[in-house]
């Protein structure tokens, strides 16, 4: 029984590693103050990505190509969503086996939360 469980776990790990190579990846390098999970970067057809998890090194995989045409910053404490304008460097499609790194600094003014100096690099 132990051998069967070990074989299933090994197979699952190896298949997930092979599958993970065919994903588009999102890295977020946005400087945000605080150590709580208040702010998220949200993209259509992808969901909302925790800025705190990104600061701790989380890379977000996507099984589908990522269309970077709209982005929002969300504050989960007050449920407000702020539209984020995109520079040309972020208006791209990230294909499988590519990684987009999103850079900037989070500005948390009371009336408008947004990413200052937003730029993206696809590699």
Instruction: Supply the pLDDT for residue 7.
Output: 45
Instruction: Give me 6's structure tokens.
Output: 């070990």
Instruction: Supply the pLDDT for residue 101.
Output: 94
Q: What is the pLDDT of residues 47-79, one digit of tens each?
A: 899 999 999 999 999 988 888 888 999 998 888
- This prediction's pTM: 0.78
Yes or no: say if 120 and 102 are a contact pair by the CB < 8 Å rule.
yes
Where the chain has pLDDT below 50, the residues are 3-8, 11, 13-19
Instruction: Supply the pLDDT for residue 9.
Output: 53
């Amino acid at each position: 029984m132990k051998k069967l469980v070990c074989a299933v776990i090994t197979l699952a790990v190896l298949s997930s590693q092979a599958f993970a190579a065919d994903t588009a990846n999102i890295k977020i390098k946005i400087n945000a103050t605080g150590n709580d999970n208040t702010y998220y970067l949200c993209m259509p057809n992808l969901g909302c990505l925790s800025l705190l998890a990104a600061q701790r090194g989380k890379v977000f995989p996507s099984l589908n190509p990522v269309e970077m045409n709209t982005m929002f910053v969300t504050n989960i404490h007050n449920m407000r969503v702020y539209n984020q304008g995109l520079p040309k460097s972020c208006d791209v499609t990230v294909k499988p086996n590519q990684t987009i790194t999103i850079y900037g600094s989070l500005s948390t003014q009371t009336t408008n939360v947004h990413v200052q100096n937003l730029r993206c690099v696809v590699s």
